[in-house]
Structure 1
Amino acid sequence: MDFQMFLKLSISAILGLIIGLERELKRKPVGLKTCLVISIVSCLLTIVSIESAYIFPMKDHITMDPLRLAAQIVSGIGFLGAGVILRRGNDSISGLTTAALIWGAAGIGIAVGAGFYWESIFGVALLIVSVELIPLLTTLFGPKQLREKEILLQITVLDSKNIANVIEAIQEKNIHIKTVRIKDLDEQHHLIKLKVTVDQKRSTTDVYYSIHDIPSITNIDIESV
């Protein structure tokens, strides 16, 4: 094994470490070790694929695609990505960014294994900027919709005649209602499930306190998406 292969694996490990560290700092299910393994092994398989294409034809006159194994990595890594995408009980989906970064770590490993060092380094830099800096800028300077966050509210209202008044009172608290679902618990109590949006800077506790004293509400369950 020559120095060039050691260099490829080392660069791949460093770049995978950077991607994994970003996920680890956010306490995501796929972190440092997973991204390291993906990046290093993807790089190794790419090296094997390329080197085999030049070794075997000289010995046995076999024709091989230099990136045949690398092509299978791109599709095969999908099962890891699918494993971190979760559908919660509130119908929201999480883990898409982590799944995308798994795929990205594999792509970086393939690129380094194929010898595209500077392109890989620049690619990782763009990935970190994309998942860290861009969301921050959009919350500060982007359209209003990008500066809002979703919150799920479940409130129990006493007497069905008060439902309309309660919804109107919530909207007066600078809480924008997107969806409404009403369920009868018994003759007196009614469950209202709301998906609402508020300013990104507004805390979940502030939303709770703002609706806590609305008349006819007997119970509140609040969750930030």
Structure 2
Amino acid sequence: MGSPWFIDNMNILFRLLAAMLMGGLIGWERERSSHAAGLRTHILVCVGSALIMMLSVYGFADFIHETNVRIDPARLATAVISGIGFLGAGTILFTGKAITGLTTAASLWVVAAIGLAIGAGFYFAAFVTTLLVLLNLWVLNIVEQRYIRRSKAHAITIEGISGILTLERVSKFLYAENITIKRITFIKERSGHTLSSDTLLTELRMNVEIHHEYNPMDIISRMQKIDGVTAVSIE
């Protein structure tokens, strides 16, 4: 039976390639959805975690017979789990209308755990976890959007001529389109830039929820038909 403190070069290569593959699968899903942390980030996290785990288990084998030396294979792994939080925090953004990046931050944390599992030789656990993560990110995302959370947060800014553009007209339009208003800011009577200098403009800034099947360009074109509207933007 071989020593539990020794690993050959072929096993090292296999584990690093496996980490690259499994981290890449999850990263590819994030990349195709244009998230902050994509393919390369997830690969680097997974491969780095696998390397650190192998270093923690096998890197100090020469010292196990030294007096007063105790080997703790989990010590560096604990540091990885704690440290990945800083990288995950960088993907979380507050855009003014919603908090985004939480799922990507969680995927980075799970990818780090997968890398640690591969580095420790837990191939089956790493493989099953990768499949479950892909199921959650891809399949359950479709189910969530279609059956559970059928609307998405957007920020709408409407600019129009004071006295003509009214909150009542905008509210009536949004109600007819089944768009839910979460927050609204009304800025009244400021000088126009594109119109004559004596024209006063009204600006409405709204945080709303729009159904996923709605086309933002179609909403903009119809909003521009509201009396008094001079400009519309949706984020």
Alignment of 1:85 onto 2:97: no
Indicate if the aligned counterparts of 2:162 and 2:189 stay in contact, CA closer than 8 A: no
What is the match of residue 74 of structure 2? 67
1:94 deviates by: 2.9
1:126 deviates by: 0.8
What is the match of residue 155 of structure 1? 158
1:23 deviates by: 2.4
1:62 deviates by: 0.7
Instruction: For structure 2, list consecutive stretches of 5 or more residues without a partner in the other structure.
Output: 1-6, 192-199
Alignment of 1:138 onto 2:150: no
- Aligned residue identity for 2:183: T
Compute the TM-score of the two structures, normalised by the length of structure 1.
Answer: 0.86
1:102-141 equivalence runs, <5 A: 102-141=108-147
- Aligned residue identity for 2:29: E
What SS does structure 2 have at the residue aligned with 1:60? Answer: coil
- Aligned residue identity for 2:142: L
Alignment of 1:173 onto 2:173: no
Instruction: For structure 1, list consecutive stretches of 5 or more residues without a partner in the other structure.
Output: none
Indicate if the aligned counterparts of 1:53 and 1:65 stay in contact, CA closer than 8 A: no
Indicate if the aligned counterparts of 2:189 and 2:202 stay in contact, CA closer than 8 A: yes
What is the match of residue 193 of structure 1? 205
- Aligned residue identity for 2:116: I
Indicate if the aligned counterparts of 1:166 and 1:216 stay in contact, CA closer than 8 A: no
1:176 deviates by: 2.0
What SS does structure 1 have at the residue aligned with 2:63? Answer: helix
Q: Identify which range, 204-213 or 69-78, moves more after superposition.
A: 204-213
Change (3 A) 1:64 1:118: same
What SS does structure 1 have at the residue aligned with 2:37? Answer: coil
1:119 deviates by: 0.8
Q: Identify which range, 182-191 or 64-73, moves more after superposition.
A: 182-191
What is the match of residue 206 of structure 1? 218
Distance in 2 (CA, whole Å) between partners of 1:186 and 1:5 is: 67
> Identity percentage over the alignment?
29
Bigger share in helix? 1
1:132 deviates by: 0.9
Indicate if the aligned counterparts of 1:208 and 1:222 stay in contact, CA closer than 8 A: yes
What SS does structure 2 have at the residue aligned with 1:84? Answer: coil
Change (3 A) 1:165 1:63: same
Give the aligned length: 219
Change (3 A) 1:199 1:154: same
Indicate if the aligned counterparts of 1:49 and 1:69 stay in contact, CA closer than 8 A: yes
Change (3 A) 1:114 1:173: same
Change (3 A) 1:197 1:27: closer
Compute the TM-score of the two structures, normalised by the length of structure 2.
Answer: 0.82
1:214-225 equivalence runs, <5 A: 214-223=226-235
What SS does structure 2 have at the residue aligned with 1:69? Answer: helix
Distance in 2 (CA, whole Å) between partners of 1:33 and 1:120 is: 19
Indicate if the aligned counterparts of 1:170 and 1:211 stay in contact, CA closer than 8 A: no
Q: Identify which range, 31-40 or 90-99, moves more after superposition.
A: 90-99
Indicate if the aligned counterparts of 1:151 and 1:195 stay in contact, CA closer than 8 A: yes
Alignment of 1:96 onto 2:102: yes
